[in-house]
Structure 1
Amino acid sequence: MTSTVLVVDDEPDLEALVLQRFRRQIRDRRIDFVFARDGVEALQSIERHPHVDLVVLDINMPRMDGLSLLARLQEREDKKSAIIVSAYGDMSNIRTAMNRGAFDFLTKPIDFADLEATILKTLGHIEVLREARRRQAEAERAHASLSRYFSPELAKRLAAGDDGDEMQVRWRDVAVIFTDITGFTSLVESAEAEVLAELLNEYVGGLTDVVFAHDGTVAKVIGDAIQVLFNAPGDQADYATRAIACAQALDLWAEAFRARWKDKGVDFGVTRIGVHAGPALVGNFGGDRFFDYTAYGDTINIAARLEAANKVLGTRICVSDTVASTAGKFRGRPVGDLVLRGRSEPLRAHEPLSPAAFDGAAAAQYASAFAKLESGDIAAMPAFAALVGIHADDPLASYHLRRLLNGAKGARVQLE
């Protein structure tokens, strides 16, 4: 790469002397020189040659002296490195020049060996700074991209180049959250474009903030649906606990969001959430052209099926026994042994509860009724009927009561 040096001096012989001294660098296209006779001409030359890397300027010049020119150069967005030349070794002027951003100085009469060494040293310094700025720009671009997926601290670390291997595609155990909204298609068809944009931006942004607060990774955002990973890209020993806590926090935020928009006259659907844990193929699937950190595998599909199961069960959160048993101090109630769409083997699922709800009388009454259901006890139907009689707003209890009234037995639930 050719470096361009602007030499600003009103001595008529200087141009020829400089070209002679640097003839080999010029011939090898390592350095190119541009010349100006004073500060005014120098500024005009920079406009014509914005790629100038270094300015070598005399202090005493007509129309605009070197110190004034130096000040103007530092006002530019692309600040130019400068070497100041003083005819008399005037330390006062040299000190002023260094305070105004000059990189180095020379005294007249010019020692051309010293001039050559100083110019080459300064160009080397400029190249280091240029590389540092390039790396910083790349890091900022990487951080902007990674911030779509990862919490701010993790994105900052990854953008800096740490844990780069974690981006490679590999099998790893993860916890997965899938969210979706009921009736979103109808809302899209009926809402004004401006309202829908505001609504969806606030919704996705709010859910993402909740995920990041729990150090989760946003693997996909598809319209109103969000896929979240834990234990990826970095290791999280408590990933199952984090996933369940995050799912409950997402539910609280989504319900508050729905209430706010209902007050504005917008009927926003319920957010359904599914959570599962297991092995998945995780990493950057974007190749060299773009970044697409996501996950694939049966674990991901099961989390999506559990999210969809909420629609039938009447619940808002449905978590697999796999993730519930892995989490510490799980509080919840069994939903049933779900035979998910496309699968033949049942999967025990649970509905997580808040500490207050888990310790309440309703949870104990449900646990007793479910135990009767699971064992095939005929007392299950009156037990659920009594529960619904007291808690008519419990959709899961109502679901099991309807199953029993329709002749179903046991905790196995076939979902289509």
Structure 2
Amino acid sequence: MTSANRILVVDDEPDVEALITQKFRREIRRNEMEFVFARDGQEALDMLETDTDVLMVLSDINMPKMDGLTLLTHLGDKYQNLKTVVVSAYGDMENIRTAMNRGAFDFVTKPIEFDDLEVTIRKTLEHLEKFKTLQREKAEAELARATLSRYFSPSVVESMALDSEQMKPGGERREATFLFTDLTGFTNLVESTEPDIIIRLLNDYIEGIAKIVFSNEGTVMKIIGDAVQVTFGAPVAQTDHAACSVNCALEIDRFAEDYRSDWNARGVALGTTRIGVNSGEAIIGNFGGESFFDYTAYGDAVNTAARLENANKTLGTRICVSESVVAKIGDFAGRPAGELLLAGKSQRLATFEPLSLEISSSKPMEAYRVAFAQLASGSPLARQSLAALVAELPNDPLTLFHLQRVLGGAVNAVVDLSVK
């Protein structure tokens, strides 16, 4: 049952309560309105201390102890959501003007015309209902914005706030770049480590990654345990989504390595973070329907990014990006990692390891690129070049990986990962 609109009437005249109750008897019976009464401003304030259901105040101006104008001042200080209608003598424009300046919503004059009073009360209550609706919508919008801020960068949230159509159920096919991360050995770590340590470790880890993603205009689509799925170029289009993704991957790698070293020093065997990145078309949108928000992406380009994350285990790298990513970056800094045959794919996929500009332009990396080109072309010189490079890069897993392949009889850069 809907509760009645509760109205506080403040007037020292003894017959006011009976007149009001008689005039609005139908509204009272229908539970539309409910009236409570005070004889002066101070009594009204005392009542409001405990009666939190009052929506509206109907107050006379001339009263003992505390007049209506003083009451208005107190109401403005403490009860801003209440709407007050004042009752003033006909022609007393000075008091009416003062009352309106102190926050009165409206006024009626004495002697009271009860039909006019009813119209004024209903108008005031309608205004209050609209005000409550706006407050509720504002609260819902703020909650939605807070929720979206957990997944999207601030600029994306702002864009969606301006265009809510982007978040409606449904999806569209569009070009984007997809990034997957995974923390090695985390399942085993959970089994052997105290829960409070795991919770603190994982919370700070995810928080660190999310901040990096947002700073690079990315969207966190899913967090499953320690794994994070990120998209660049949706829901807001980015012309440089591939470059943003690579920069993000490098920043995540630096953060994750520092984070791992910190926890290793505390005696917790935190593993490395592997990252896979791929660009391509996918169907992206909100697939949760009206009642559930699930902004995600589906398509081969997404699956490929996940497989590249896993390919790091074989290559010995921590970041593996596809040729489709590199093709969109004119000044890509990095080196070729291998031509991968992935499960369900008939064509080889050229992959790369992004590097800082300083490392990428170093002489050892230039030598690596020469050796890899020899390997890719089937040149017998690849074996000697890779062996010589090990002396310069003794702790480089990717160089060691290809040297071992060559020593095992490989004659190209094709790495078959089609069978698990």
Instruction: Calculate the TM-score normalised by the size of structure 2.
Output: 0.89
Letter matched to residue 363 of structure 1: M
Within the alignment, does 1:226 sit opposite 2:246 as a pair?
no
Which stretch shifts more, 138-147 or 111-120? 111-120
Change in 2 beyond 3 A, CA 1:328/1:25 = farther
Residue 386 of structure 2 corresponds to which residue in structure 1?
A: 384
Letter matched to residue 365 of structure 1: A
Residue 261 of structure 1 corresponds to which residue in structure 2?
A: 263
Deviation at 1:36, TM superposition (A): 0.4
Gaps of 5+ in 2: none
Contact 1:89 1:108 in 2 (8 A): no
> In structure 2, the residue corresponding to 1:178 is in which secondary structure?
strand
Residue 316 of structure 1 corresponds to which residue in structure 2?
A: 318
Residue 132 of structure 2 corresponds to which residue in structure 1?
A: 130
Letter matched to residue 149 of structure 1: Y
Within the alignment, does 1:217 sit opposite 2:212 as a pair?
no
> In structure 2, the residue corresponding to 1:169 is in which secondary structure?
strand
Deviation at 1:300, TM superposition (A): 1.3
Give the counterpart of 1:358 among 360, 382, 393: 360
> In structure 2, the residue corresponding to 1:110 is in which secondary structure?
coil
Contact 2:167 2:286 in 1 (8 A): no
> In structure 2, the residue corresponding to 1:244 is in which secondary structure?
helix
> In structure 2, the residue corresponding to 1:10 is in which secondary structure?
coil
Deviation at 1:200, TM superposition (A): 0.8
Name the CA distance, whole Å, in 1 between partners of 2:227 and 2:358: 29
Change in 2 beyond 3 A, CA 1:90/1:195 = farther
Kindly provide the CA deviation profile for residues 37-73 of structure 1, in whole angstroms up to 9, marking residues without a partner as x.
3246646765786443211112344565445544554
Kindly provide the CA deviation profile for residues 124-143 of structure 1, in whole angstroms up to 9, marking residues without a partner as x.
33233222212101101111
Gaps of 5+ in 1: none
Contact 2:322 2:352 in 1 (8 A): yes
Which stretch shifts more, 2-11 or 205-214? 2-11
Letter matched to residue 188 of structure 1: V
Contact 1:167 1:233 in 2 (8 A): no
Name the CA distance, whole Å, in 1 between partners of 2:344 and 2:58: 75
Kindly provide the CA deviation profile for residues 299-335 of structure 1, in whole angstroms up to 9, marking residues without a partner as x.
1111111001101111010001011112232122111
Within the alignment, does 1:80 sit opposite 2:82 as a pair?
yes
Which stretch shifts more, 35-44 or 240-249? 35-44
What pairs up with 1:93-242 in 2 under 5 angstroms? Answer: 97-98=99-100, 100-159=102-161, 161-164=163-166, 168-242=170-244
Residue 35 of structure 1 corresponds to which residue in structure 2?
A: 36
Within the alignment, does 1:272 sit opposite 2:307 as a pair?
no
> In structure 2, the residue corresponding to 1:53 is in which secondary structure?
strand
Name the CA distance, whole Å, in 2 between partners of 1:286 and 1:61: 60
> In structure 1, the residue corresponding to 2:332 is in which secondary structure?
coil
Kindly provide the CA deviation profile for residues 242-268 of structure 1, in whole angstroms up to 9, marking residues without a partner as x.
111211121122122222323333232
Alpha-carbon RMSD across the aligned residues, in angstroms, is 2.7
Residue 307 of structure 1 corresponds to which residue in structure 2?
A: 309
Letter matched to residue 214 of structure 1: N
Within the alignment, does 1:252 sit opposite 2:245 as a pair?
no
Letter matched to residue 168 of structure 1: G
Kindly provide the CA deviation profile for residues 121-166 of structure 1, in whole angstroms up to 9, marking residues without a partner as x.
3233323322221210110111122112111232234245544367
Deviation at 1:393, TM superposition (A): 1.4
Letter matched to residue 106 of structure 2: D
Letter matched to residue 362 of structure 2: G
| Percent identity of equivalent pairs | 51
